[in-house]
Structure formats: structure tokens, C-alpha cells
């Protein structure tokens, strides 16, 4: 079979998702399991979204509206852009791939920071691009070093902000300096999946660049995180209309399902649910900071809904022991951080249970 596949496919490592609750229950014989591994919203979807889904069920025999017109109209009004500035995808994961399909030629460079979301590497490898990893400054993007690493072969630069898995953020001044040094031929994709959780006052406004006509900036956002619609897969991209037009050519006709569109439109109107979700994360973040400090564990201050924690030993071992306690986290060795785990900020009860379980696990492991 290796002689039949495209050579670039052999280099792709399959994505490793967070361990599902049902799998842990089945394997370990547990009934009470909490999942703090995939940065989902434990409050669930907006009640308005659930109501909209229920009302739309009789119409499932229709194909979805291919251009996501209602959702794009709602987003356009909120973002103060035209509908032509927007594309909706089957999660922002799909949009990452569509961007690469539209613009990346074989052998061109795709730049990303080390310890980053794996979909950027996947898109580069799938299209025969050459991945370029730029070392971080600690656990932060080093935009100055990234700018210096751009060559005449650099087609795409991916910047996850706030970053998965570190939770770190690059601020407005740093981004402005970086963009001033990026040539027009290089697209910069800012993945803002966690932006609604960011509390820093200097979070950059990249959409303003797009409104002013800058063509090489693309912003990605999602309904999977604070909106609690991860199971329906809805993400969207914002860019210059000409850029969006080219990306649209790579999109399947009915890539976003009918219920996903209906739910996303309704979720946008539920500001109360968004505020409640954000407040829960901010309060939980401070609670976990105090608990981790009491355990004398290093952690990275976060602008997202998760915290990266240094457990000072094999992260896989800690992960496995936490599973026995009915707590699922994400070992960060997949991001080349072998002694770190990433934990989603949950409800107050979930946060308390995680800290108690972690304390017992660390005591057992010594």
C-alpha cells in the first residue's frame, strides 16, 4: 500500500482526541467520570440553541442552505463587515484545511510555533507543504523570531491566540509590529477559538485590519468553545472578500449541517449564556490557580478556558492515575511537553474534584 499512497500522507500522524467519558467508564468500570480534556463548555449549549434545534427537527429532510446565509448575515451585523467577508465551516478545523487547499502549493512553507495545535501541521502535510517550526519564548509565541524566519517561500503563518495548549496570548502591540514586517504574499491566519475567554485588555483587534482592506490576514473563530456547540461543528473565517471567494471554491456544497446553522444563529443571540460561561471560567481559573499553588505546582497563566500544569513527572503516568479517579485531562506530551498536563476549567464541583484527585495521585506517585 505504501507504493500507492501520496508520499506526504505517510508523514501524517493521526489526530489523538481527548479520551471520551464512555470509554473510561467501560475500560475502568467507573460510573462517575468527568471530562476536563477537550476544553468543552460544561454548561452546555445555550437554551436558545436547544430550543431552535427542537423546532427545526421536522425540516431535516431538506438539504442545508449551502452558503449559511442566515448565520453569515448575523455574524456580519455583529462584526460590522459584509457577508462577503465571511465563510462558515464544519468547525474551524475544516477552514484550516480549506485555506491550505486554496493557497498552498507543494513545497511552500507553513510556519507555526512549537507546541501548537496539530491541525496546522496536518494541513501543511496534506497539501505537500513544508512545515517550519519556530521556537517559542518560554511558552509564548515569539512573533519577532517568526517575522525573521519568513522567506520568499513562506505562504501561510498560523498563530493560535490565545494559544492551545499553552493558554498564552500575544498582545496588540506585538501583533502590530509583526504584521508590519509580513510581506503581502504571506497569509497570516489568526486562530481565535478561545478569544471570548480572554480577559487581557490588549487583546488584538485583527478584524479591523480586514475592514481596512488588508488581504493577507485571516481570522478564524468557532462555536465549539464558549457557545457549547462542539458536537455540531461550526466555525467561521473572516477575511477580505476576494480571499474568501477563493477559499469558497474549495468548500463542499453542504459542509455545515442544517441543525448546526440553526443552533449557531440562536446561540449568537444568547448573551446571557456567554456571560455566564465566561464568568464561570474566570472564577474557576482563579480557584485553580490557588489550588495549584497550594500543591506547589508550576502552571502557565491562561487567557483561555484551560490551564497548562507542570506535574514534574511523566504526564502520561499522571494522566493514567487520574483516569482511575474518574478525571480525564489531556497529557501534553503530544505537544512535546512531557511533564505537563492540560486541564479544562470546569464547574466549581469539577474543579474541586480535579484538585482533590490530583493531590491524591501525586501523593501516590511520590
Query: pLDDT for 287-296, tens place per residue?
Result: 999 999 999 9
Reduced to 3 states (helix: H, G, I; strand: E, B; else coil), residue 305 is: coil
pLDDT at 299 over 90: yes
Domain that holds residue 313: 7-44+272-365
Peptide bond into 165 cis (omega under 30): yes
Please report how many Cα atoms fall inside a 13 Å half-sphere around the Cα of residue 39, on the Cβ side.
25
Q: Are 64 and 288 in contact (CB under 8 A)?
A: no
The number of folded domains in the chain is 2
> 19 and 131 in one domain?
no
CB 190 within 8 A of CB 221: no
pLDDT of residue 13: 79
Of 341, 340, 334, nearest to 16 by C-alpha is: 334
Cα–Cα distance list, 347 to 220, 266, 340, 350, 351 (Å)? 27, 24, 22, 5, 6
Based on the fold, state whether residues 211 and 281 are members of the same structural domain.
no
Regarding whether 214 and 70 lie in a shared domain, the answer is yes
Contact 287, 322 (CB under 8 A): no
State the Cα–Cα distance between residues 159 and 315, nearest whole angstrom: 26
Q: Are residues 224 and 291 in the same domain?
A: no
pLDDT digits (tens, 9 = 90+) for 193-242: 999 999 999 999 999 999 999 999 999 999 999 999 999 999 999 999 99
Is the domain of 40 the same as that of 77? no
Verify that 309 and 262 share a domain, yes or no: no
Confirm whether 2 is domain-assigned.
no
How far, rounded to the nearest angstrom, does the alpha carbon of residue 234 sit from its chain's CA centroid?
A: 12
Q: What's residue 8's pLDDT?
A: 78
User: 174: domain CATH number?
Assistant: 3.40.640.10
* Interval 2-38: pLDDT, tens: 778 887 787 777 777 777 888 888 888 988 999 999 9
Do 100 and 220 meet the contact criterion of CB atoms below 8 Å apart?
Answer: no
Residues 29 and 135 in one domain: no
- Considering the domain architecture, whether residues 130 and 93 belong to the same structural domain is answered as yes
Domain boundary among 248, 269, 290: 269
Domain limit, last residue, from 269, 299, 323: 269
Res. 1: pLDDT tops 80: no
Asked which of 252, 269, 286 is the last residue of a domain, the reply is 269
Question: What's the pLDDT band for 44 if we cut at 50, 70, 90?
Answer: very high
Amino acid at each position: 500500500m505504501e507504493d500507492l499512497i501520496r508520499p506526504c500522507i505517510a508523514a501524517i500522524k493521526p489526530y489523538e482526541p481527548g479520551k471520551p467519558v464512555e470509554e473510561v467508564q467501560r475500560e475502568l468500570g467507573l460510573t462517575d467520570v468527568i471530562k476536563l480534556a477537550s476544553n468543552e463548555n460544561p454548561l452546555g449549549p445555550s437554551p436558545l440553541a436547544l430550543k431552535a434545534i427542537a423546532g427545526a427537527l421536522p425540516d431535516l429532510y431538506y438539504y442545508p442552505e449551502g452558503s449559511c446565509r442566515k448565520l453569515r448575515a448575523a455574524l456580519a451585523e455583529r462584526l460590522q463587515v459584509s457577508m462577503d467577508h465571511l465563510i462558515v465551516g464544519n468547525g474551524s478545523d475544516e477552514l484550516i484545511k480549506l485555506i491550505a487547499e486554496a493557497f498552498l502549493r507543494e513545497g511552500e512553507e507553513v510556519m507555526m510555533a512549537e507546541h501548537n495545535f496539530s491541525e496546522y501541521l496536518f494541513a501543511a502535510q496534506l497539501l505537500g507543504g513544508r512545515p517550519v517550526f519556530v521556537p517559542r519564548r518560554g511558552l509564548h509565541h515569539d512573533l519577532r523570531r517568526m517575522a525573521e524566519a519568513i522567506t520568499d517561500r513562506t505562504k501561510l503563518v498560523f498563530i493560535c491566540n490565545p494559544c492551545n495548549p499553552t493558554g498564552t496570548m500575544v498582545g496588540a502591540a506585538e501583533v502590530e509590529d509583526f504584521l508590519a514586517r509580513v510581506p503581502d504574499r504571506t497569509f497570516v491566519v489568526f486562530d481565535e477559538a478561545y478569544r471570548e475567554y480572554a480577559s487581557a485588555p490588549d487583546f488584538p483587534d485583527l478584524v479591523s485590519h480586514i475592514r481596512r482592506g488588508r488581504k493577507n490576514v485571516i481570522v478564524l473563530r468557532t462555536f465549539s468553545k464558549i457557545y457549547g456547540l462542539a458536537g455540531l461543528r461550526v466555525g467561521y473565517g473572516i477575511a477580505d472578500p476576494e480571499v474568501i471567494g477563493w477559499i469558497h471554491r474549495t468548500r463542499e456544497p453542504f459542509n455545515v449541517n442544517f441543525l448546526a446553522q440553526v443552533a449557531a444563529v440562536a446561540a449568537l443571540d444568547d448573551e446571557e449564556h456567554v456571560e455566564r460561561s465566561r464568568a464561570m471560567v474566570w472564577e474557576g481559573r482563579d480557584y485553580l490557580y490557588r489550588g495549584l499553588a497550594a500543591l506547589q505546582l508550576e502552571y502557565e497563566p491562561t487567557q483561555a478556558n484551560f490551564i497548562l500544569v507542570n506535574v514534574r513527572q511523566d504526564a502520561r503516568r499522571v494522566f493514567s492515575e487520574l483516569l482511575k479517579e474518574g478525571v480525564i485531562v489531556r497529557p501534553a506530551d503530544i505537544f512535546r511537553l512531557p511533564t505537563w498536563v492540560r486541564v479544562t476549567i470546569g464547574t466549581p464541583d469539577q474543579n474541586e474534584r480535579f484538585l482533590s484527585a490530583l493531590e491524591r495521585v501525586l501523593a501516590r506517585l511520590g
